[in-house]
Amino acid sequence: MALKIVEFFGYEPGDPSAEAQSARQDLRCPFIGVRCTKTLSDGLVSGACTVRQATSEPIICCPKRLYAGSYQILRETAASVFGEDVAFILGSDTSVATGGRRVFAFGSAVGGEIKLPPIEGRGGFFVDWILALVNEKGELEDFVAVEVQSIDTTGNYRQEREDYLKGQAFAGYSEAGINWENVNKRILPQLIYKGHVLRREQLCKKGLFFICPTPVYQRIAQRIGGSLAKYHPAPGTLTFRWYDVGPQVPSGQQRELCFGDQFTTTVEQVAYAFLSPGNMPPENSYAKAIRAKLRTIGIGE
């Protein structure tokens, strides 16, 4: 494992500008304007927005980093689904636009998450964001659900964090890594389940949208194989949209959030590909690896 922090509280780790120093001092996330919510295992505020492995491009490791540009990702998703001419409103601020067709974005940070009732005593189902289209009469006309995920890290980058908070340079890479297995254990199962739930919603006409960093989408595509058929957003579909951070910028500025592309398929196709992946190692690979291991301890030929 080898990891290096690329963005720290929204800026380059060594950025000497007043803006960067203020964010570090207040432990503030400049993308949502509050104290950083990403924590280490011991509860310390992390501050890491984007990281890079020794042989990789930068990867966003905090979902709040994806909310740059006043929730740019939600605005762009709403425009792609409902049209550029529809007013976009964060939360319940009806003063922004009255009358006409409007899209209201409801999420935990703005307007509050919309949860369904508990199912057989278990906690209610919810998604990160609901983009609700309201017509001229104030009636709900359509909605899409949006999940936002980055990627978790493993290991320890505490010393790197401490050096940056002190305004010192950090040599080399930390012992931290990327938790790619989280794609298999948590992200894909949740998307499949939530996609099935939303398929039963008559007004969810364009399905579920999943927004993530480009490397996360690439890992998902690798896990489920490349044989998924492409669809247009519709009931029962799952649309992947992915983003990256832009190139380095001068001190006091933040890297741009850049849209990569999107791909839409059905929830059923993702579920089938997840359970029956086509991208697998050759048969008997485990036996080959076990024999090789045994030879290292003097067993077998």
What span, in angstroms and rounded, lies between the C-alpha atoms of 105 and 91?
5
152-195, pLDDT tens digit by residue? Answer: 998 889 999 999 999 899 988 898 999 988 888 889 999 999 99
Mean per-residue pLDDT of the chain: 90
Give the pLDDT confidence of 21-68 residue by residue, as tens digits.
999 999 999 999 999 999 887 889 999 999 999 888 999 999 999 999
Please, which pLDDT band fits residue 235 given cuts at 50, 70 and 90?
very high
Q: Is 292 helix (H, G, I), strand (E, B) or coil?
A: helix
Burial class (CB in 10 A: 0-12, 13-18, 19+), 63: buried
End-to-end CA distance of the chain: 32
The residue-averaged pLDDT of 269-296 equals 85
pLDDT tens, position by position, 187-209: 999 999 999 999 999 999 999 99
Cα–Cα distance measured from residue 130 to residue 82, given in angstroms and rounded to the nearest whole number: 13
What is the per-residue pLDDT across 252-281, written as a single tens digit (0 to 9) for each?
999 999 999 999 999 999 999 888 766 677
Contacts of 31 (CB under 8 A, 6+ apart): 10, 49, 64, 65, 67, 68
The arithmetic mean of pLDDT across residues 279-291, rounded, is: 84
Q: How would residue 91 be classed by pLDDT, with cut points 50, 70 and 90?
A: confident
pLDDT at 1 (0 to 100): 61
Secondary structure of 105-165 in the HEC alphabet? EEECCCECCCCCCCECCECCCCCCEEEEEECCCCCEEEEEEEEECCCCEECCCHHHHHHHH
What pLDDT does residue 111 have? Answer: 72
> What is the per-residue burial (b if ≥16 Cβ within 10 Å, else e) of 129-155?
bbbbbbeeeeeebbbbbbbbbbbebee
Mean pLDDT of 138-148: 94
Asked if pLDDT for residue 98 goes beyond 90, the answer is no
Residue 26, sorted as left (phi over 0), alpha (psi -120 to 50) or beta, turns out to be alpha
Q: Which range (30-39, 72-81, 107-116) has the least confidence?
A: 107-116
Tell me whether strands 48-53 and 3-8 are parallel, antiparallel or unpaired.
antiparallel
CA–CA separation, 5 and 14 (whole Å): 11
pLDDT at position 95, please?
A: 67
Residues paired with 50 in a beta bridge: 7, 60
3-state secondary structure of 251: coil
84, 238, 117, 73 alpha-carbon torsion, rounded to 10°? -40
Angle at 115 between CA 270 and CA 210, to 5 degrees: 30
